[in-house]
Structure 1
């Protein structure tokens, strides 16, 4: 019995340590990327990666057939303000209807804070959008960090944590998080493919959004209600 308790304690300590490393690591990644961007050290890499998604003979032409370009516009909409706002509102209402008000508050707050922080940081860093190629999507704000990537990471990861918390099967939990990661990655790639963001804008957005999602995950765990609460 004592051996089992010690083993359980070690697993819990390792899990807790991993969580806190992730919580501290995501903001560190954002600050590290922001520092490099601010100093202009990523310009060459950003340029190469952006042009790698364009035809060598014509930078205005994205790689692949026309249907792929149209598909990328559809995918980028998954990280758009309108769709994610609708998704968040519906999710919050469903959680309230299922008497999970704490989770609803956490999800709603995370999405709002992610959006606000993204807009504030865009104003702070004031990075121009890429001008190497024609934009494949309409843009209204500055480039760093990517708002689509930030909001997608914050919304999908937090939503995945909330949904997974109600699941008992490990396979289902894993599938939920895999799908969330897939959506977030696809949105980020689509922003670079359409020429509206530098790759480091997307990386910064992922780190910022993941930071908010990790905070939400910790708060969700700390305030996890008892059965029926």
Structure 2
């Protein structure tokens, strides 16, 4: 293979080499982006064509609404309000200050591109799909904006996903890395659950938002990492 197709072998080897500018990190990032886009596209198609999953959406929304309790509603309200636009702005600013003080300039750049950019992308997608919010007889929370995908969930995916990526890079123990990723998943899951429980989003809104967030985060982190590696390579020449 190496002797017959030297250019192909060189190209593949470069894409799988950790230290290359467009090496393994770039390959993994593109793969994650494409997979996330495929998942999002599949969910969006099911929603637009009103397939069977939309029946599950409606059933689950009514199931949560019928079993609401004051204590759990209060907890879900706290979680959902903590991750609204104002809450995300505060948390993103705090994380940005932390990165600045730590002189983690590339992580700061990734943060500034991923979270605000992803939230803007989500607004665009909402206006493209224009899906109405769940209609319930006794809603716990009422909103008039579009439903698909969930803005709170995509913001949480981007924010906690970036924190998890940063902490994973700082740790060398696989057990610690696993717990970090698990913690990020739990936080995103709680935000998504709060939106479904309160009756302002369907299950597919949340799942699509997670896919959207993962895809956009993969683009941002891969792009910033490539920029860092390219500058480092030029500095050594």
Bucket of the pairwise TM-score, normalised by the shorter protein: 0.7 to 0.9
State the shift of 1:154 in Å.
1.2
* Alpha-carbon offset, residue 40 of structure 1: 1.6
Please say if 1:49 is aligned against 2:53: no
**What TM-score, normalized by structure 2, do the two folds share?**
0.79
Question: Among residues 104, 107, 115, which one is paired with 1:103 in the alignment?
Answer: 107
C-alpha contact (below 8 Å) 2:65/2:198 kept by paired residues:
no
Secondary structure at the residue paired with 1:196?
A: coil
The alignment's C-alpha RMSD in Å is 2.6
Residues 34-183 of structure 1: pairs in structure 2 closer than 5 A: 34-41=44-51, 42-55=53-66, 63-183=67-187
Specify whether residues 45 and 213 from structure 1 end up closer, same or farther in structure 2 by C-alpha distance, changes over 3 A only.
Answer: same
The offset of 1:10, in angstroms, is 8.4
Find the counterpart in structure 2 of residue 32 from structure 1.
Answer: 42
Partners of 1:171 and 1:220 lie apart in 2 by 26
Task: Find the aligned partners of 1:185 and 1:43 in 2 and give their Cα distance.
Answer: 20
Describe the SS at the equivalent of 1:54.
helix
Residue number in structure 2 paired with 1:188: 192
Residue aligned with 2:161, SS:
helix
Point out the more displaced range, 85-94 or 157-166.
157-166
What SS class does the counterpart of residue 53 from structure 1 fall into?
Answer: helix
CA distance in 2, matches of 1:179, 1:78: 17
Deviations 1:11-52 (A, max 9, x none): 979987655432211111111111111112233121112122
From the superposition, tell whether residues 64 and 196 of structure 1 become closer, same or farther in structure 2 (CA, over 3 Å). closer
Question: Could you say which residue in structure 1 is the equivalent of 2:217?
Answer: 213
2:32 paired residue among 15, 18, 22:
22
The question of whether the paired residues in 1 share the 8 Å contact of 2:106 and 2:225 is answered with: no
Q: Does 1:199 align with 2:203?
A: yes
CA contact (8 A) 2:33 2:215 kept: yes
State how far apart, in whole Å, the 2-side matches of 1:92 and 1:46 are. Answer: 36
- 1:113 & 1:14 partners in 2: Cα distance? 25
Which runs of 5 or more structure 1 residues have no equivalent in the other structure? Answer: 1-8, 56-62
Deviation at 1:70, TM superposition (A): 0.7
Alpha-carbon distance in structure 2 between the residues aligned to 1:113 and 1:10: 29
CA distance in 2, matches of 1:135, 1:214: 35
> Following the alignment from structure 1 to structure 2, what is the Cα–Cα distance between the partners of residues 10 and 178?
27
